[in-house]
Amino acid sequence: MDHKVVGKSTQRLDAVAKVTGRAQYTDDFFERDMLVGKVLRSPHAHAKVLRIDATKAKALPGVVAVITPADLPTIKFATAGHPWSLDPGHRDVEDRLILTDKARFVGDAIAAVVAEDLLTAEKALHLIEVEYEVLPHVLTAEDAMAEGAPVLHENRPGNIVSSFGVSFGDVEKDFEAADRIIEGDYETSIVQHCHIESMSAFAFVDSDGRVVVNSSTQIPHIVRRIVAQALGLSWGRVKVIKPFIGGGFGNKQDVVVEPLTAAMSLAAGGRPVRYCMTREEVFIDTRTRHGMKLHLKTAVSNEGVLQGIHMQVLSNTGAYASHGHSIAMSAGGKFRPLYNFRSIKYEPKTVYTNLPVAGAMRGYGTPQIFFALESHLDDIAREMNLDPVALRQKNLITVGHMDPLSKNVVRSFGVPQCLEKGLELIRWDEKRKAHKGQTGPRRRGLGMAAFAYASGTHPVALELAGARIVMNQDGSVTLQVGATEIGQGSDTVFGQITAETLGLPADMVHVVTTQDTDITPFDSGAYASRQTFVTGIAVRKAALEVREKVLAVAARRSGLSPAEMDIRDRQIVETSLGRVICSLADVAMDSYYDRILAAPITSDTSANVRINAMSYGATFVEVEVDLETGRVEVLELWNIHDSGTIINPKLAEGQVHGGVSMSLGAALLEQMLFDPVTGKPLNPNLLDYKLPTILDTPTINAAFVETFDAAGTFGSKSLGECPVISPAPAVRNAVLDATGVAFHKIPLYPQVVFEKFREVGLIPDRQAERSVQHV
Amino acid sequence: MADQIMLSLKVNGQSHSLQVHPFARLLDVLREDLRFTGTKEGCGEGECGVCSILLNGRLVNSCLVPAVQAQGGEIVTVEGLADGQRLSSLQDAFLTQNGAQCGFCTPGMLLAATDLLQRNPHPDEAAVREGLAGNLCRCTGYVKIVDAVQTAAREAR
Residue A431 resides in a domain:
yes
Interface test with B, best of A18, A531, A636 (most B CBs within 10 A): A18
- Which domain CATH number covers B54? 3.10.20.30
Q: Specify if A326 maps to a domain.
A: yes
Task: Find the domain containing A312 and state its range.
Answer: 291-457+611-759
Average pLDDT for chain A: 97
Cβ pair B47:A23 closer than 8 A? no
Q: Which pLDDT score, from 0 to 100, does residue A767 have?
A: 66
Same domain (yes/no): A597, A630: no
A446 and A361 belong to one structural domain: yes
Restricting to B residues 41-70, those with a Cβ less than 8 Å away from any Cβ of A are 41-45, 47-48, 50
- The answer to whether residue B149 neighbours chain A at the CB level (below 8 Å) is no
Residues B18 and B74 in one domain: yes
Is residue B40 domain-shared with residue B93, that is, in the same domain? Answer: no
Reported as a pLDDT band with limits 50, 70 and 90, residue A770 is low
Contacts of B39 in chain A (CB under 8 A): 21
pLDDT value for A400 = 98
SS3 A13: coil
The Cα of A713 is separated from the nearest Cα of chain B by a number of Å equal to 23
Look up the domain containing B143 and give its range. Answer: 89-155
Q: Classify residue A305 as exposed, middle or buried by CB count within 10 Å of its CB (0-12, 13-18, 19+).
A: middle
* Residue B3 confidence (pLDDT): 82
pLDDT < 70 stretches in chain B? 1-2, 157
Say whether both B53 and B94 belong to one domain.
no
What contacts A564, CB < 8 A, 6 or more positions away?
A574, A575, A576
The H-or-E segment that residue A658 falls in is: helix A649-668
Look at residues B50, B80, B110 and tell me which one is the last residue of a structural domain: B80
Q: ipTM value of the model?
A: 0.98
Write down which residue in B80, B97, B130 finishes a domain: B80
In a shared domain, residues B12 and B73: yes
% of residues, chain A, pLDDT over 90: 98
From chain A, pick out residues whose CB is under 8 angstroms from the CB of B139.
Answer: 247, 487, 654, 658
Are A463 and A609 a contacting pair, CB within 8 Å?
A: yes
With beta carbons under 8 A apart, name residues in chain A contacting B130.
695
Residues A339 and A269 in one domain: no
pLDDT (0 to 100) of residue A717: 98
In a domain, A4, yes or no: no
Q: Which residues of B touch A24 (CB under 8 A)?
A: 37
A181 lies in some domain = no
> What CATH number is attached to the domain comprising B93?
1.10.150.120
| B147: nearest Cα among B96, B81, B87 | B96
CA–CA separation, A523 and A606 (whole Å): 8
Contact residues on chain B for A651, CB-CB shorter than 8 A: 98
Is A124 found in the same domain as A265? yes
Mark whether A489 and A385 lie in a shared domain.
Answer: no
Cα nearest neighbour of B90 on chain A: A19
B72 and B116 co-located in one domain? no
* Same domain, yes or no: A129 and A272: yes
For B16-50, write each residue's pLDDT tens digit.
999 999 999 999 999 999 999 999 999 999 999 99
A128 and A238 housed in the same domain: yes
| Interface contact flag, A694 B137, Cβ < 8 Å | yes
User: Which ranges of A507-619 does DSSP label H, i.e. alpha helix?
Assistant: 536-558, 584-593
Q: With a cut of 90, say whether residue A772 has pLDDT above it.
A: no
Give phi and psi for A537, each to the nearest 5.
-65, -40
Reference A326, options A461, A223, A188; nearest CA is A461
Last residue of a domain, one of B21, B48, B80: B80
A-chain residue closest to B144, CA distance: A654
Please state the φ and ψ torsions of residue A194, each to the nearest 5 degrees: 55, 40
The enclosing domain of A498 has a CATH number of 3.30.365.10
Whether A15 and B87 lie within 8 Å, measured CB to CB: no
Task: Tell me which residue of A108, A360, A95, A366 sits closest to A254, measured CA to CA.
Answer: A360
Domain count, chain A: 3
* A300, part of any domain: yes
Provide the pLDDT for residue B1.
46
Confidence band, pLDDT 50/70/90 cuts, at residue A383: very high
State how far Cα A577 lies from the chain centre.
49
Let me know whether A477 and A563 are in one domain: yes
Q: Domain count for chain B, please give it.
A: 2
Query: Is A247's CB within 8 Å of B102's CB?
Result: yes
**Mean predicted confidence (pLDDT) in A374-383:** 98
Q: Which of A751, A747, A748, A449 is nearest to A624 (CA)?
A: A748
- Residue B103 sits in the same domain as residue B59: no
Q: Does residue A312 lie in a domain region?
A: yes
Give me the phi and psi of A754, to 5 degrees please: -60, -45
**Residue B101 contacts A where some CB pair is shorter than 8 Å:** yes
Note every long-range contact of A87-91, with CB atoms under 8 Å and residues 24 or more positions apart, other chains counting.
Answer: none
Chain A residues within 8 A of B43 when measuring between CB atoms:
279, 685-686
- Is A21–B95 a contact, with Cβ atoms under 8 angstroms apart? no
Asked if B43's CB is within 8 angstroms of A685's CB, the reply is yes
**pLDDT at residue A253 tops 50:** yes
pLDDT in tens, A51-104: 999 999 999 999 999 999 999 999 999 999 999 999 999 999 999 999 999 999
pLDDT over 70 at A172, yes or no: yes
Asked if residue A488 and residue A505 are part of one domain, the reply reads yes
Q: Say whether both A604 and A636 belong to one domain.
A: no
Do A360 and A327 form a contact (C-beta atoms < 8 A)?
Answer: yes
CB contact under 8 A, B103 and A488: no
Residues of chain B in contact with residue A691, where contact means CB-CB under 8 angstroms, are 136, 138
- Does B22 contact chain A (CB < 8 Å)? no
Q: Which residue of B has its CA nearest to A721?
A: B139
Whether residue A506 sits in one domain with residue A394: no
- B104–A195 C-beta distance less than 8 A: yes
Stretch A743-761: mean pLDDT, rounded? Answer: 97
Provide mean pLDDT across the span A403-424. Answer: 97
Q: Are residues B69 and B133 in the same domain?
A: no
If we measure between CA atoms, which residue out of A601, A579, A602 comes closest to residue A588?
A601
- Report, as an integer, the average pLDDT of A454-468: 97
Amino acid sitting at position A265: S
* Residues A453, A512 contacting (CB under 8 angstroms): no
Q: CB A20 to CB B43 under 8 A?
A: no
The C-alpha atoms of residue A467 and residue A463 are separated, in whole angstroms, by 13
Asked whether residue A690 falls in the same domain as residue A729, the answer is yes
Question: What H or E segment, with its residue span, contains residue B28?
Answer: helix B26-28
Contact A21 B139 (CB under 8 A): no
**How far apart are the CA of A21 and the nearest CA of chain B, in angstroms?**
4
Contacts of B100 in chain A (CB under 8 A): 12, 15, 18-19
| A376 has pLDDT over 90 | yes
